[in-house]
Amino acid sequence: MAERTERDRPSARFRWLLHIDLDQFQVSAERLRRTDLIDIAVIVGGDGDPSHGRQVVTCASYEARAAGVRAGLPMPAAKKKCPDAVFLPLDMDYYTQVSTRVMDVLREQGYPVEVWGFDEAYLGIDGGGIDASAGGRPHERTEIVALADRIRRAVSDATGLPCCLGVSDNKQRAKAAAGFAKAAVRSPDAAAEDRVFVLDDVNWAELMGPRPCRDLWSVGPKTAAKLADRGIDTVDRLQGVARDDLVEWFGPSQGNWLYVLCRGGGDDAIAVEPWIARSHSRSRTYPEDLTDREQVRAAATELAREVREQVMNEGRVPFRVGLTVRTSTFYTRTKMRKMAEPSTEFAAIGPVVDGLVDAFDLDRPVRLLAVRLELLDV
């Protein structure tokens, strides 16, 4: 897993932002190589064995979701809810290949692309033939929808993967728009054009006003609960709160952000330069708890070797090592140590990993470990 650092990336502002969301990505990728999986319940996660209680669902097809299966659900619970589903193991190398092809297709469209994971990306569209002063007038919306649909078809034709596109003037609204598109295509009478949805000043109040505050991107359960305690449970009601009150309750940063967010504001910038990872990591949840220090040491060493291989394949050099330990009680701690000098030699990395293992008390069984290598700038 690579660590994202957006703040240091050059960016540019755009009139329109398109959020591309690949539908049920891992399931759709599996269906590319196994057409017998189409239109049946499919669940992807762990090693594909639903009897392994420490593994969770990564992706569920819409058929499985209809039975109550969701990402993050323990695999045995998923089996109970959807016993007839086909369970498949994660194949990260394959998903990386499929995702890379999708992102290449997006870049081929000639617009800046900011990748947000295997199945998400943003495109920035400037005025370029679209009247940037139109402010959401009908003809402008028609043009951007047509462009978004051309991009959708380009992805589908080149990769065979379905996707939805949300269109707006900032990232937050564009992501919400993609959510409306995904909801629309689940309808039995949905058409291909329903995979593109525009959310802007024209329809923001109507569509988002009655919805829970939790539906605003970046509003988590704690923030939503804090608002609900004050009787603020919809976006409309949040809009009625004075900025000064929000700042008093949540502090200047979050308070001002909530004031902007509920009115449909957000970030209209796209990173226009290639993203360079600042670190890479490997994590693993173990089928049985690790109960002694030497087990932990051996497991951490294995993870360190795996992430070192990735770093070396990219021609990068680590200078700091991190170890995360999650116990059987879900208590999670991370410790970091700088290497004596930057090096890709395991003789330099291994002793730092050992030292980190020794630095933990390990007074409880361990269920998860993660090793991270922080990298020198290229």
Asked if 185 and 38 count as a contact pair (C-beta separation under 8 A), the reply is no
Cα–Cα–Cα angle for 237, 239, 242, rounded to 5 degrees: 105
Structure tokens at 86: 């086909």
- Rounded-to-integer distance, Cα 55 and Cα 195, Å: 32
- Rounded-to-integer distance, Cα 85 and Cα 102, Å: 27
Residue 174 DSSP SS3: helix
Q: Which residue has the tokens 């660590």?
A: 3
- Rounded-to-integer distance, Cα 287 and Cα 23, Å: 30
CA distance from start to end of the chain = 18
Out of 3, 120, 193, 341, the active site residue is 120
Element (H, E) at 16: strand 16-22
DSSP 32: H
215 burial via Cβ count (<10 Å: 0-12, 13-18, 19+): middle
Element (H, E) at 130: none
Asked if 167 and 145 count as a contact pair (C-beta separation under 8 A), the reply is yes
- Rounded-to-integer distance, Cα 367 and Cα 344, Å: 28
DSSP 61: -
Side chain identity at residue 138, one-letter code: P
DSSP track, 263-297: TT----EEE-S----SEEEEEEEEEEEE-SHHHHH
**Residue 120 known to be catalytic:** yes
* Residues annotated as part of the active site: 120
